[in-house]
Chains A and B, each alone.
Chain A
Amino acid sequence: MSSRTNISCLQEAARVAIFGGTHGNEMSGITLVNMWIQNSAEIERNRLVVKPFISNPRAVEKCSRYIDTDLNRAFTPETLSAPDVEGLPYEVQRAKEINQMFGPKGSSDAYDVIFDLHNTTSNMGSTLILESSTDLFNLQMVHYIKKALAPHTCSVLLNEHPQLKYSTTRSVAKHPIGLEVGPQPQGVLRSNVFESMRTILKHALDFIQLFNSGVEFPPCTVDVFRVQERMDYPRDTNGNITAMVHPHLQDCDWEPLNHGDPMFLTFDGRTVLYEGANTVYPTFINEAAYYEKQQAFMTTCREILAANAIRKACK
């Protein structure tokens, strides 16, 4: 079989959106999108339309993660089909609006690509978040971005977990990509984090322009971290946390955590060890927004995903 038969021909990615402010206190994306709404020169590319968009303007105004409910969990089929009634949570109304503007989710009218810009208090560096291990366009784009950023590193998180996967704002598009850069406190704009996110987007848009112009991207592999499990803090019967992430685990996102390694430190000084049988790679360690979601960190395992060559489909 000749190698030419293994090229996947994919539809042109003509409509691209960049979302900032899905969480109203994650400042890099908010600042970038507002800047590009004022002056879009930097994000313009031949052969595609790029729309910068503030997804949760009321939360941005208030500099809080959300008003009523987390927008980035609100794109479920139930929420998107909720009838228009009085008293709908703000983010549910907003999700429906976004689905109309950039979707409908799952239809052929949906935007081709949405980049959703986030920050985290975790020491995750630059991270790209994928929701599917078989989206060839996304895998090739991620591969291109990583190569362009080198020697700076960029981790790739894959959340395809049946229970832990959630309905993100970007999931409205055919090719959703999350950009997560940290560490950065909520409500703070750090110059280095801002510039990292800006550079990732530059490379991403370059890729899409190249793809749309007919460039063929050869087969590639992508090292990813696949979400396994959510680990909560030890809590008392009232639900209050009784321990903190251990100093040896704090800031060690993407580093191996082995059986017997320290995991939590109680307020009165006792260490709680990781008891899992296999080595895992924790991430989202001590993210501020996840205390209320019962998550101290997520465990992942390393995997190598393979992607076919891709090329824009001829009309």
Chain B
Amino acid sequence: MALLFLPGLARVAVCGGTHGNELSGVYVVQEMERQRKEKGECAWPIPVKTVLANPRAVKECRRYIDQDMNRCFNIATLSSPITDSSPYEVRRAQELNKLLGPKGSTDAIDLICDLHNTTANMGLTLIHYTTSDWVTLHICKYLQTKITKVPVRVLVLDIPISDAYSLESVSKHGFSIEVGPQPHGVVRADIYSIMKEAVDLTIDWIHKFNSGMVFEGGDVEAFEFIKSVDYPRDPETRSLTAAIHPQLQDRDFCLLKRGDPLFLSFSGETVKYEEEEPLHPYFINESAYYEKEIAFHLGKKMTLTIPSVQVQKD
């Protein structure tokens, strides 16, 4: 198999608290900062910047203060003029873009690992906005082989970088680590430990890559976002008339086929999946998505073939 030479990753950041009530990342970042105080920069084999992305939301243990910060990193928002009435998260996104970017430039940090939790039963899910970043996909492949406690899945969105709106799109090779299920505002030891392991292995891969190790290519199974589905709602009041069906609840990434139950209405009727094409639901019953009118996303399984890679020598 052909070997691709890619630049090393000199500058790496781990970000927690992009949503202030997603606590695993907040405490992973806090623990890393404590380790840095104790051991200095040799806490990790490579230098790592740790960032608490939305400190005001973390302090109040809320997802956001004015608006969802993880939708503020598209180029339009990053370059909008700041006024007195600008939402807190827009200002903060622009600060983070200065600190870790600027997005799209050669000065941008090499990798951002952004830490999130979900109330959905998604195990460990790695989210990236493109299908052709070999560095990020190799990290995903590495985590898939090394982590066995929970299923490790890869989600890709495939949108142009200028439209990508999440924090990790600021760096050259960014991805989000999403671990669930965990209620917002709660830190579970089992979920924390999965996230910590994922971060440690990411740092481990980067160190090995930078040191010259060859990473064999191959196939990576991933899910590509197709569309989202809202709850059944009352046409006038817009309030929910059904909940996720008990046979779908907690079954993220299963295969939904025509006729499978989706929702159970409060009056006892089952709403079924009517599409011809079988797809995979995920983010099933995520608390923060009720206001975004999303009950779950639907994705298509795909296989990405990635080349073998090695760091290019200067």
Contacts and interface: CB of A to CB of B under 8 A. Distances in A.
Whether both chains belong to one complex is answered with yes
Interface string B55-74: 00000011000000000000
A247 B187 CA distance: 11
B119 interface: yes
Contact of A267 (B30, B119, B186): B30
B31 A186 contact: no
A121 B185 CA distance: 10
Given A268-B31, A291-B61, A186 B184 contact: yes
B239 interface: yes
A250 B191 CA distance: 11
A203 to B, nearest CB: 18
B290 interface: yes
Contacts of A288: 183-186
Contacts of A247: 189-190
Main secondary structure on A side of the interface with B: loop
Contacts of A47: none
B119 A185 contact: yes
Contacts of A189: 240, 243-244, 285
Contacts of B240: 31, 189
Interface residues on B, range: 20 to 34
B71 to A, nearest CB: 18
B243 A190 contact: yes
A121 B183 contact: yes
A289 B183 CA distance: 11
Interface in B2-58: 27, 30-31, 34-35
B30 to A, nearest CB: 7
B178 to A, nearest CB: 15
Nearest to B263: A191
A191 B264 contact: yes
Contacts of A64: 62
B189 A121 contact: no
Nearest to A248: B189
Given A31-B240, A187-B288, A244 B188 contact: yes
A189 B263 CA distance: 12
A149 interface: no
B188 A191 contact: no
Interface in B183-220: 183-190, 192
Interface of A: 31, 34-35, 63-64, 121, 183-192, 194, 240-241, 244-247, 250, 265, 267-268, 286-289, 291-292
Interface of B: 27, 30-31, 34-35, 61-62, 119, 181-190, 192, 239-240, 243-246, 249, 264, 266, 285, 287-288, 290-291
